[in-house]
Amino acid sequence: MGKITEILRDSSNDIWERILKHPFVVELFRGSLPPEKFRFYVIQDYNYLVTLTRCQAMIASKLEEPTVIRRILELALADVSTELENYNKLLNTLGLSLNDVIRARPAPTSTAYMNFLLTTCALGGPYEGLVAILPCYWTYLEIARYHEKELANNPVGIYRDWASVYLSPEYEGIVMDLRRIIDDTSDHLMHDISRLTSIFRQASIYEFMFWDMAYRMEQWAI
Amino acid sequence: MGKITEILRDSSNDIWERILKHPFVVELFRGSLPPEKFRFYVIQDYNYLVTLTRCQAMIASKLEEPTVIRRILELALADVSTELENYNKLLNTLGLSLNDVIRARPAPTSTAYMNFLLTTCALGGPYEGLVAILPCYWTYLEIARYHEKELANNPVGIYRDWASVYLSPEYEGIVMDLRRIIDDTSDHLMHDISRLTSIFRQASIYEFMFWDMAYRMEQWAI
Amino acid sequence: MGKITEILRDSSNDIWERILKHPFVVELFRGSLPPEKFRFYVIQDYNYLVTLTRCQAMIASKLEEPTVIRRILELALADVSTELENYNKLLNTLGLSLNDVIRARPAPTSTAYMNFLLTTCALGGPYEGLVAILPCYWTYLEIARYHEKELANNPVGIYRDWASVYLSPEYEGIVMDLRRIIDDTSDHLMHDISRLTSIFRQASIYEFMFWDMAYRMEQWAI
Amino acid sequence: MGKITEILRDSSNDIWERILKHPFVVELFRGSLPPEKFRFYVIQDYNYLVTLTRCQAMIASKLEEPTVIRRILELALADVSTELENYNKLLNTLGLSLNDVIRARPAPTSTAYMNFLLTTCALGGPYEGLVAILPCYWTYLEIARYHEKELANNPVGIYRDWASVYLSPEYEGIVMDLRRIIDDTSDHLMHDISRLTSIFRQASIYEFMFWDMAYRMEQWAI
């Protein structure tokens, strides 16, 4: 029997293939992405980051094992400290202020994705929550590795810097830790595999849609 | 000072105007709506109904006053008893089975709306939850009244029967009760009016989008 | 393999034996219970009833199956309608008003039991919640049957009336329904049996302590 | 108008007076506390520490302001890292292992206090949660200051070391931060002052009862 996270990853392979090849991703790593699309993506990322923190806090509140609680709280704290500081630096480089970002309305896809994560973490058990946030972390690792070679010739410093984060050993460590925490409870979770697969797939679909939202600079119809 | 629900209603008037005149609504009351669009709407409504029940249960669990808890539980119970039985009859008339419906994947807008409601009810206080579910009940009352005259000449029996529910005194009573429960705590809620307005407006936007989803027979892009 | 609820019941048999023979219970069915102790019990029961309703609402919000949601909501609604009306009649007979009761401070044991139920229902899955509220319903059925013969010679009408509720076919039906809902998901729950057993046992312990609290007319030390 | 936390503190002054003078506290600072009572206290503290972490995680998940979320997550993380490591060292000094502690059943008062905190944090808003955990932090600061002079002549090194933590500038900083976070939203919270006062008082009562539980080495009656 494979590990839970491998089963989950396989079951959403068709979605992940399309994420790796999405024009936003491809153009970002090549350096041909129009700057206004990147700026749109970055602005939408702020509320997502705060939402991720709140989700991790909810997950931590439902876990039993102190060492696992600790690891998830470290991630949550990193999101509202290191990550948020890096985010502010990036805003600066882009000539944006945190106020611009806070005032920006989350786009429809971003809103839908955030409410999916919050609902899953609020109403489900801790492992359902962990499975919901895993595609976000894990796809970024795969994206960065898949397109790594193109970075060398990427003429846009901001894009290269942004991408390098996801190629760092620290980032790989986060993904490995999340996977290990889930896989360590495989025996207990396997009876719930169909529900977990469906959560993982929906989160993967939202990851694809998030890139697409940014590429289209999606607006509310009303 | 006006009542809270009047303030909320006024603040979303532009959205409600567009709901009243949405082609799905107009064609439904005239009888010119293509049957496949109505069928799509009905199928999407099933998961929404179960979600509404779960939201009302969450709201009831957070309320303090036994008489208010009772009224909300009555609504919740009606959703999974009377409403669900009426729904099954409607499915029958349309040649659909409950199994077809349960197997149907909720469309993107429907999913987004449901997760918005669940998140608001799970993470917010009981009155935030009540404000989130109010547009669903209240817009249907306004829609039915606004288009009432056209029903007489509506050639489609299924559409006439469907619409007549929202013109019944019972239905008006539900909307009045929900409004009264919220308005009775106006003093306490007024300091939170900006958050409540934003919840009410977002729910109203999702109501518009739900009609539009059905009219377009919306599919997932992936 | 036995049914889940039989396993749970067996695992707490030592506690249940002591509940059946607790002086409060014995004297209540014989008619020798001092009226002030019964009055204390009744006053403490009010907040418990509202808490039970809120717990059932939380459980309903987490369940998936509409027929099960419906049954739990029926119980919740009965608690704040029929039950609460019967409760008010009983208060009347005892010369108490609802205001007296609402103003009464929940005793330490009552507070501890209610917060145990609320925590279990808020943080756990729906079946953990159902297992937590089961001893309350089920022990009253067993108590009434165990002491049924003594009721005939019980000189106190109020005690006889109170006890007769738990001997009614309706009441047995509620207990059977709760047990069946849990037993119907036995396969899914069996891997979690140690946690469920511990919840059921703690709830049974609180049932014993609740009777003892009333018998001692327990007060806060501070 | 005073600050919220001053109002809360004043309203529970009678309880706090009794906490400062509880025999467990007095004997601990003097050095005359029987070691088995201290050991009992320490064992009970483990589950409380994990519960506090889970409560803080829940509070963080409901807060809006990233800087406040960050501060609460820092406290939560400290509980399952630094605090837990210090706790393990203390266990070592006492000749206890973490396994002994994990196997120990939480005493009735400890269970009641933990479920009160969890219920308040799970069902209430973030500031209700913060008010519920404040007495735990703040009373320890006041206790340490009130008895500081006696520490010099305290013959028991373990007791002196334990107490010194609560006299550190770091610890005072935590209490000040918690108070400031609550006081900074005073305007918004003042309309809810009666509910907050009642939460703060109940938490203070449980703090008193926790010391008393340890002094009596409280056991379950059943």
Within 40-69 of B, beta carbons closer than 8 Å to C belong to 50, 53-55, 57-58, 60-62, 66, 69
Degrees to nearest 5, angle at CA D15 with D11 and D19: 140
Residue A221 within a domain:
no
Select from C221, C44, C205, C123 the least CA-distant residue to D210.
Answer: C221
List, for residues D79-114, the tens digit of each pLDDT value: 999 999 999 999 999 999 999 999 999 999 999 999
Q: Indicate the average pLDDT of chain A.
A: 96
Mean pLDDT on B180-199: 92
Residue A150 within a domain:
yes
Cross-chain Cβ contact C57/B54 below 8 Å: no
Within 116-135 of D, beta carbons closer than 8 Å to C belong to 116, 118-119, 122-123
CATH number of the structural domain spanning residue D156: 1.20.910.10
> Which amino acid, one-letter code, is at D196?
L
d(CA A59, CA B40): 36
Report yes or no: D81 at the A interface, CB cutoff 8 Å: yes
Residue C222 within a domain:
no
Q: How confident is the model at residue D1 (pLDDT cuts 50, 70, 90)?
A: low
d(CA D4, CA D191): 11
Mean pLDDT on D184-199: 91
User: From the candidates B65, B120, B123, which should be mutated to test the interface with D, based on the most D CB atoms within 10 A?
Assistant: B123
* Percentage of chain A lying above the pLDDT 90 cut: 95
Residue count (chain C): 222
**Which of chain B's residues have a Cβ under 8 Å away from the Cβ of A116?**
111-112, 115
Residue A51 within a domain:
yes
Residue A35 within a domain:
yes
Task: Say which residues have a Cβ less than 8 Å from residue C20's Cβ, sequence separation at least 6.
Answer: C142, C143, C146, C147
Within 126-185 of B, beta carbons closer than 8 Å to D belong to none
CB A163 within 8 A of CB A28: yes
Report which of residues A171 and A189 the model is more confident about.
A171
CB A178 within 8 A of CB A74: no
> pTM (2 decimals)?
0.97
Cβ-Cβ pairs closer than 8 A, B with D, add up to 8
Cβ-Cβ pairs closer than 8 A, B with C, add up to 68
> How many distinct structural domains can be found in chain B?
1
Asked if residue D130 has pLDDT above 80, the reply is: yes
Q: Which of A60, A77, A121 sits opposite D70 (nearest CB)?
A: A77
Report yes or no: C89 at the B interface, CB cutoff 8 Å: no
Residue B221 within a domain:
no
Residue C221 within a domain:
no
- Kindly report the nearest CA distance between residue C63 and chain A, in angstroms: 10
Cross-chain Cβ contact A205/B220 below 8 Å: yes
pLDDT at B175: 98
Asked if residue B212 has pLDDT above 80, the reply is: yes
Please report, in tens digits, the pLDDT of each residue of chain C (222 residues total): 579 999 999 999 999 999 999 999 999 999 999 999 999 999 999 999 999 999 999 999 999 999 999 999 999 999 999 999 999 999 999 999 999 999 999 999 999 999 999 999 999 999 999 999 999 999 999 999 999 999 999 999 999 999 999 999 999 999 999 999 999 997 888 888 999 999 999 999 999 999 999 999 999 999
List, for residues A97-143, the tens digit of each pLDDT value: 999 999 999 999 999 999 999 999 999 999 999 999 999 999 999 99
Name the residue range of residue C101's domain: 4-216
Q: In this prediction, does ipTM exceed 0.95?
A: yes
Burial of C115 (0-12, 13-18, 19+ CB in 10 A): buried
Cross-chain Cβ contact C74/B69 below 8 Å: no
Residue B200 within a domain:
yes
Q: Which of B61, B125, B188 sits opposite D191 (nearest CB)?
A: B188
d(CA D158, CA D165): 12
Mean pLDDT on A59-64: 95
